[in-house]
Amino acid sequence: MTITTERGRVAGELKSGSDLLYLSRQDVEDIGITRDEILDLTREALVEHGHQRYEMPAKIGVHPYDNVFYHAMPAYLPGPGIVGMKWIECYPDNPRKFHLPQTTGLLVINDVESGAPLAVMDSAWLTAMRTPAVTVLGAAALHPGATTFGMFGCGVQGKEHVRYAALAMPGMETVYVHDTNEAAADALIAELQPELDLRLVKGESAEAVTKSAQVLSSATVILREPLAVVKDGWVTAGQTILPCDLNTFWDPRTSQRADKYIVDSIAEHELFASMGYFPDGLPAIASETGEVLAGVKPGRESADEIIVNSNIGMAVCDIAVGNAILHRAIERGAGTRLPL
């Protein structure tokens, strides 16, 4: 699936400036965008980003509580003509306190020519799907031929990372999973083992998983003070590490000594550093993920390199996937038309 030019197919279906399409979470999930399609859409968006064909300010945020954030994430992709914004928040205590998801949000897609909003849709499913797509695209580019993968965090993101790793990394044979909640790791294996043609193993400890896998990823929590669950001494030459939780889960010394520290967005990492999320300093950045996928900057250049690839999520990927969801919804007559 390729990124579709916006106006040609939408203008005839929506009265720009008069109505918009609302898509609930169930609508979005039922549209039928596959993981393979999301990998293609995300790859195209990252390549556009790597070639500097985009406009996307670093995440604008507010923080009502110390462990809570709201992010406004606008982006524009001039090539396919897509513009929109995601408004998303994270409340880590929601599941325990209110039996609500940790993360919820909305995505708006606008008409580039007139500026009129075309659609408003739930963004939780979209976010859960495009986040692991970025991780495994980075992993496949930075560690081709990898046969072992380690996943820390076995919630929604952890499950999708495992599914996407099976899709994007064809040589994958074994995935080790670990969660502080052992029941979550057991549940991941019970759910995914029957559908995947690879071996899922519950790691005995964070150290055991780290020492067992060539490629490692984490999707846990984002905090200003690093937890350093994975100790620097456990990481060895040739490993590729792809955190989705910024500077929290891994010993900061690993990122500082890595042969390459690659990020999805330099501007966003510099913003988080200015907010105190890198108390030991932001590591020297070698390149951006999109630059590697676009062939603008090198990825792995030797088998012994330690590479850390930090991806915290970019709006260019959100609007690319959201645009595809909008087009699919129009084709299928899904969603609810609302007057402006």
Q: What architecture does CATH give domain 6-126+316-339?
A: 2-Layer Sandwich (3.30)
Residue 269 confidence class, pLDDT cut points 50, 70, 90: very high
CA–CA separation, 195 and 191 (whole Å) = 8
Domains of the chain by residue range: 6-126+316-339, 132-314
Mean pLDDT lowest for which of 15-19, 66-70, 305-309, 325-329?
Answer: 15-19
Q: What was the pLDDT predicted at 29?
A: 96
Whether the CB-CB separation of 23 and 120 falls below 8 Å is answered with yes
Q: What was the pLDDT predicted at 5?
A: 55
pLDDT for 242 beyond 90: yes
The mean pLDDT value of the chain amounts to 94
**205-223: per-residue pLDDT in tens?**
999 999 999 999 999 988 8
CATH 3.40.50.720 for domain 132-314, yes or no, is: yes
Which segments within the chain are labelled E, that is strand? 19-23, 60-62, 69-77, 82-90, 103-110, 117-122, 148-152, 174-178, 199-202, 215-218, 240-243, 260-263, 287-288, 307-310, 336-339
Q: What is the mean pLDDT of residues 112-122?
A: 95
What is the biggest distance separating any 2 CA atoms in the chain, rounded to whole angstroms?
60
Q: What was the pLDDT predicted at 17?
A: 77
Residue 20, SS3 per DSSP: strand
Q: List Cα–Cα distances, 130 to 125, 205, 232, 256, 257, in angstroms.
A: 9, 28, 29, 27, 29
**152-203: per-residue pLDDT in tens?**
999 999 999 999 999 999 999 999 999 999 999 999 999 999 999 999 999 9
Global pTM reads 0.94
Extract the tokens encoding 208: 């055991």
Q: What was the pLDDT predicted at 321?
A: 98
Residue 257, SS3 per DSSP: helix
Residue 7 confidence class, pLDDT cut points 50, 70, 90: low
Q: Which position has the token pair 């994270």? A: 90
CA–CA separation, 213 and 203 (whole Å) = 11
Q: What was the pLDDT predicted at 10?
A: 64
Domains 6-126+316-339 and 132-314 share a fold: no
pLDDT for 8 beyond 70: no
CB atoms within 10 A of CB 279: 11
pLDDT for 23 beyond 80: yes
Instruction: Please list the helix, strand and coil fractions of the chain in percent, rounded to the nearest 5, in that order.
Output: 35, 25, 40
pLDDT for 9 beyond 70: no
More confident residue, 270 or 19: 270
**63-99: per-residue pLDDT in tens?**
999 888 899 999 999 999 999 999 999 898 898 999 9
